[in-house]
C-alpha cells in the first residue's frame, strides 16, 4: 500500500514545489516590472547650446572624457550592453537620433537626472556622474551630438532577465534617478582659476562612475579610493597614468589603463594636474 501511494506523494511534492517556485517567479517579475516603469520627477531646465565650430570641437572632447562612446558605440549610433538569458537585453540607444527626438531640456534632464521623456528612469547611463556637469559643458556636449549626422542605430531597450530582476528586487540594482535624488545641490565653481575647485569638478564628472560620488572606490571590486591612490604618485607619474594609461611601476592595469587612453588622454595637462591637486588635498 505504501508503495502504491509513494508516486502520488512524490507528484504532490513536485506540484507544490512548482506552484511555490512559479509564484515566487511571478512575484519577482511583477515587482521588478514596477521598478522598471516607476515614474520619477526631475526639473526640465533649458541650457544654452552653442552653434559655433569651436564649441562643437570642445563638445567632442568633453564627450570623449565622459565616455559616451564607451556604451553608445564609436559612431554613437547605439550598442548592445548585454544580451543573454540571465541578464536580459539592454542597449545604449542611438544618440544621433535621441538628440533630435528630445528637446534640450529633456536631454539635460535625462543626462543629469536619469529621467527619460516618459518619466521612467534610465538603468545604465551613469547620470550621477553627469549630475554636476555645468550648463556650459553640457551645452557643448549637446552641440557636438547635434552636429553629427543622423545614423541608423539601436533604439533604447531594457528587458531584464531573471538575474537582473532578482538584483532589482533585492535593491542591489536600482534606476539611476534614485541615486541622483540623494545627491545634494549641484556643484558650482566660484573661481575658475582655483585648481582644487576645478579638480573637484573634473573628478566628480569624470571619475565617479566607477569610484563613487565620494571617490572612495569599491574594495570589493578592486576599485581603490582615488585620494589614497593619487598620494602614491608624483605629479609626473599621475599625468602619465591618465594620459598614457601607464600606472606607477610601468604597469598595465586591467581596466583603468584602457579607460585612461580612451578618455582621460583628452584632458588638458592642466586639467590632469588640477585633478591631482584636488585628490592630494582631499587625502
> Is residue 56, in this structure, part of any structural domain at all?
yes
Q: Please check whether residues 281 and 260 belong to one and the same domain.
A: yes
> Is residue 24, in this structure, part of any structural domain at all?
no
Question: With 80 as the cut, is the pLDDT of residue 19 above it?
Answer: no
Between residues 35 and 8, which one has the greater pLDDT? 35
Q: Please check whether residues 45 and 165 belong to one and the same domain.
A: yes
d(CA 69, CA 78): 9
Q: Please check whether residues 117 and 165 belong to one and the same domain.
A: yes
- When pLDDT is averaged across residues 125-148 and rounded to a whole number, the result is 97
pLDDT of residue 191: 78
Q: Please check whether residues 193 and 176 belong to one and the same domain.
A: no
Q: Please check whether residues 102 and 202 belong to one and the same domain.
A: no
Tell me which long-range contacts 205-213 makes (C-beta under 8 A, separation of at least 24). 205/66, 205/129, 205/130, 205/132, 205/133, 205/137, 206/65, 206/66, 206/129, 206/263, 206/264, 206/267, 206/275, 207/129, 207/275, 208/126, 208/128, 208/129, 209/67, 209/126, 209/129, 213/128, 213/183
Q: Which of these ranges, 8-12, 154-158, 207-211, 237-241, has the smallest mean pLDDT?
A: 8-12
Helix (H, G, I), strand (E, B) or coil at 80: strand
> Is residue 3, in this structure, part of any structural domain at all?
no
Domain count of the chain? 2
> Is residue 20, in this structure, part of any structural domain at all?
no
Confidence tier at 193 by pLDDT (50, 70, 90): confident
Q: Please check whether residues 77 and 191 belong to one and the same domain.
A: no
- When pLDDT is averaged across residues 238-243 and rounded to a whole number, the result is 98
> Is residue 153, in this structure, part of any structural domain at all?
yes
Tell which residue, 198, 214, 255, 46, has the closest CA to residue 129.
Answer: 214
Confidence tier at 27 by pLDDT (50, 70, 90): confident
DSSP state of 170: T
Return the residue matching grid coordinates 580612451.
262
Domain that holds residue 72: 36-181
Q: Please check whether residues 176 and 40 belong to one and the same domain.
A: yes
pLDDT of residue 220: 80
Q: Please check whether residues 149 and 252 belong to one and the same domain.
A: no
- How many residues does this entry show for the chain? 283
Q: Please check whether residues 201 and 272 belong to one and the same domain.
A: yes
> What's phi and psi for 218, nearest 5 deg?
-145, 95
> Is residue 144, in this structure, part of any structural domain at all?
yes
Amino acid at each position: 500500500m505504501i508503495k502504491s501511494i509513494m508516486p502520488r506523494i512524490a507528484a504532490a511534492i513536485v506540484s507544490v514545489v512548482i506552484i511555490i517556485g512559479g509564484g515566487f517567479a511571478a512575484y519577482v517579475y511583477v515587482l521588478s516590472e514596477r521598478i522598471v516603469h516607476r515614474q520619477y520627477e526631475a526639473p526640465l531646465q533649458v541650457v544654452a547650446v552653442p552653434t559655433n565650430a569651436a564649441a562643437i570641437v570642445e563638445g567632442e572632447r568633453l564627450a570623449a572624457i565622459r565616455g559616451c562612446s564607451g556604451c553608445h558605440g564609436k559612431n554613437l549610433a547605439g550598442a548592445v550592453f548585454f544580451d543573454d538569458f540571465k541578464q536580459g537585453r539592454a542597449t545604449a540607444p542611438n544618440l544621433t537620433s535621441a538628440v533630435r527626438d528630445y528637446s534640450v531640456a529633456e536631454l539635460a534632464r535625462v543626462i543629469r537626472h536619469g529621467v527619460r521623456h516618459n518619466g521612467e528612469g534610465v538603468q545604465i547611463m551613469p547620470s550621477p556622474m553627469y549630475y554636476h556637469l555645468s550648463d556650459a559643458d553640457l551645452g557643448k556636449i549637446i552641440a557636438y551630438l547635434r552636429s553629427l549626422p543622423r545614423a541608423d542605430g539601436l533604439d533604447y531597450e531594457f528587458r531584464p532577465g531573471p538575474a537582473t530582476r532578482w538584483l532589482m528586487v533585492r535593491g542591489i540594482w536600482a534606476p539611476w534617478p534614485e541615486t541622483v535624488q540623494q545627491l545634494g545641490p549641484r556643484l558650482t565653481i566660484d573661481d575658475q582659476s582655483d585648481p582644487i575647485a576645478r579638480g573637484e569638478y573634473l573628478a566628480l564628472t569624470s571619475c565617479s562612475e566607477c569610484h563613487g560620488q565620494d571617490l572612495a572606490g569599491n574594495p570589493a571590486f578592486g576599485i581603490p579610493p582615488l585620494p589614497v591612490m593619487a598620494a602614491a604618485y608624483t605629479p609626473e607619474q599621475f599625468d602619465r597614468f591618465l594620459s598614457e594609461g601607464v600606472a606607477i611601476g610601468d604597469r598595465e592595469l586591467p581596466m583603468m589603463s584602457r579607460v585612461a587612453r580612451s578618455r582621460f588622454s583628452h584632458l588638458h595637462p592642466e586639467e590632469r594636474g588640477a585633478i591631482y591637486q584636488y585628490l592630494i588635498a582631499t587625502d
